[in-house]
């Protein structure tokens, strides 16, 4: 089972974005588009419903070799059979998550600086999310945007693969790739598109062309 983070579009499936579209359908769309990795952000979904949903998405993703990462929740990632977890500053520490999930799990950490990235590496992270790059309405971040120039400066010195995050659209994903991102996490611009499959493919192509 592969656990190396794929390059390109990192599909961020947020249950608060376009809530009328079921999460399983969001997942099916990006899987059909051929993305390599998706993250489930289930902040509006109670645990009793989140667990079977994670298991369903993992089962959908398995035949296509798509990696499934759960946001924040180590327990749900473990119980749901996901490939890993993404951890924010208020979640379990990376080293604790590593002990619980094991050496093969894919663990990402939210970072704002090179110092954060170096600390995440010491604790055992596989990759980091770096941002916010742009303003975003998807999630309250509480940090000023880094901008592309600062993002690129940090990414170029990072010892870990960097996932650019926040406010990325089809118009800007190529710039994020050119700035040094290993992957680009997209939620709003992806999930609010009329055709999620086509938008996912377009985002991935734009990233790959600029890389």
pLDDT of residue 135: 85
pLDDT of residue 114: 97
Q: Where are the beta strands (DSSP E) in 103-174?
A: 106-111, 127-130, 162-165
Distance (Å, rounded) from C-alpha 12 to C-alpha 35? 11
Contact at 8 Å (CB) between 129 and 185? yes
Phi-psi region of 34 (alpha: psi -120 to 50; beta: other; left: phi over 0): left
pLDDT of residue 2: 43
**Mean pLDDT per 10-residue segment, the chain (211 residues):** 79 96 97 97 96 98 97 98 96 97 97 97 97 80 87 97 97 98 98 98 97 81
Distance (Å, rounded) from C-alpha 98 to C-alpha 87? 11
pLDDT of residue 139: 63
In the chain, the domains with their CATH numbers are 8-210 (3.20.20.70)
pLDDT of residue 136: 74
**pTM (two decimals):** 0.94
SS3 category, 70: strand
For the chain, the first-to-last Cα distance in angstroms comes to: 26
């Amino acid at each position: 089972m592969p656990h190396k983070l794929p390059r390109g579009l990192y599909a961020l499936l947020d249950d608060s974005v376009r809530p009328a579209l079921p999460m399983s359908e969001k997942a099916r769309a990006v899987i059909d588009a051929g993305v390599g990795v998706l993250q489930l952000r289930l902040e509006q979904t109670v645990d009793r419903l989140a667990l079977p949903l994670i298991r369903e998405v993992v089962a959908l993703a398995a035949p296509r070799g798509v990696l499934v990462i759960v946001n924040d929740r180590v327990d749900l990632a473990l119980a749901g059979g996901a490939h890993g977890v993404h951890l924010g500053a208020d979640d379990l520490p990376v080293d604790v998550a590593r002990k619980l999930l094991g050496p093969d799990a894919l663990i990402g950490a939210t970072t704002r600086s090179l110092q954060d990235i170096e600390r995440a590496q010491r604790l055992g992270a596989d990759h980091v999310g770096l941002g916010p790059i742009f303003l975003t309405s998807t999630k309250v971040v509480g940090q000023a945007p880094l901008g592309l120039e600062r993002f690129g400066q940090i990414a170029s010195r990072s010892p870990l693969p960097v996932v650019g995050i926040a406010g990325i659209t089809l118009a800007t994903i190529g710039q994020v790739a050119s700035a040094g991102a290993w992957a680009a996490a997209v939620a709003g611009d992806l999930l609010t598109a009329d055709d999620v499959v086509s938008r996912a493919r377009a985002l991935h192509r734009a990233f790959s062309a600029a890389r």
